Amino acid sequence: GAGVSQSPSNKVTEKGKDVELRCDPISGHTALYWYRQSLGQGLEFLIYFQGNSAPDKSGLPSDRFSAERTGGSVSTLTIQRTQQEDSAVYLCASSQAGGSNEQFFGPGTRLTVL
């Protein structure tokens, strides 16, 4: 079946602009995660959605970052007023509910802020 998909694959934007990144998880996966992969910080957790529960936003680096998940499926990560330090690869993953279940990762969106 189809894996996790993300769009766009690459995004170049100017400092101060807003961007939206999209994630389509594997059908039937109730858990969805966003991570960020950058040279300086490695792989960092950003936010977690599980079913209809309130999301765990503890990894979001600032209030310029937000995410939503509509209908328990597609998720959008929004970065407002982008800064150069936001440049990174943003990864989405999905899994069966919690525990040690394998997280399946998408190919990522490479964001470059000029």
Nearer to another protein among residue 49 and residue 86 (C-beta): 49
Q: Is 28 in the site for another protein (CB under 8 A)?
A: no
Can you point out the beta strands (E) in the chain?
Answer: 5-7, 10-13, 19-24, 31-38, 42-50, 65-69, 75-79, 88-95, 104-105, 109-113
Q: Is 101 in the site for another protein (CB under 8 A)?
A: yes
Nearer to another protein among residue 3 and residue 16 (C-beta): 3
Q: Is 103 in the site for another protein (CB under 8 A)?
A: yes
Least CB distance from residue 8 to another protein, whole Å?
15
**Residue 60 — φ and ψ, nearest 5°?**
-65, 130
Site for another protein in 37-76 (CB under 8 A): 42-45, 48, 50, 53, 56, 59
Sheet containing 5-7: give its strands across: 5-7, 19-24, 75-79, 65-69
> Which residues are near another protein by CB under 8 A?
31, 33, 35, 42-45, 48, 50, 53, 56, 59, 91, 93, 95, 98-108
